[in-house]
Amino acid sequence: MFVRTSHWTCRPEYVDVALETFRTAAVPILRRQRGLLWAQLQGEPGTTRRIAVTVWESEDDHAECIRCGAMAEITALFRHMYVDGVPPQGFAWPALHEEIVRPA
């Protein structure tokens, strides 16, 4: 499993648009990618700081998403929403341990 996070700050006037863009434009692009398991947009309460999280079956699947231009396409969707034009800072790390814990 491979997890990528993308940290960015949204211009306040685009907070609602960013969420809708994630749901209606970014997620459909991600759904077409091999190995995507999960996608989420997080927001720090009371701020416009955002983290997009994607979880992949493998690092190779994530790398292919970058190679094919899908991540660049998603970044372009949000470009006008970044504070001071600062693009997201991405972090991509392999999971060292994972468990799915379900209530008994």
Residue 27, in any domain of the structure: yes
pLDDT value at residue 102:
82
pLDDT value at residue 49:
97
Residue 99, in any domain of the structure: no
SS3 assignment, position 49: strand
State the Cα torsion 81-87-93-95 to the nearest 10°: 0
Residue 101, in any domain of the structure: no
Domain with 15, as residue range(s), is 2-94
pLDDT value at residue 37:
95
Residues of the chain with pLDDT under 70: none
CB neighbour class for 104 (10 Å; exposed up to 12, middle 13-18, buried from 19)? exposed
CATH code of the domain containing 20: 3.30.70.100
Residue 103, in any domain of the structure: no
Strands (E), 1-104: 2-9, 36-43, 49-56, 89-94
pLDDT value at residue 74:
96
Residue 46, in any domain of the structure: yes
**The total number of structural domains that make up the chain:** 1
pLDDT value at residue 100:
79
Residue 104, in any domain of the structure: no
Write down the pTM of the prediction.
0.87
pLDDT value at residue 3:
92
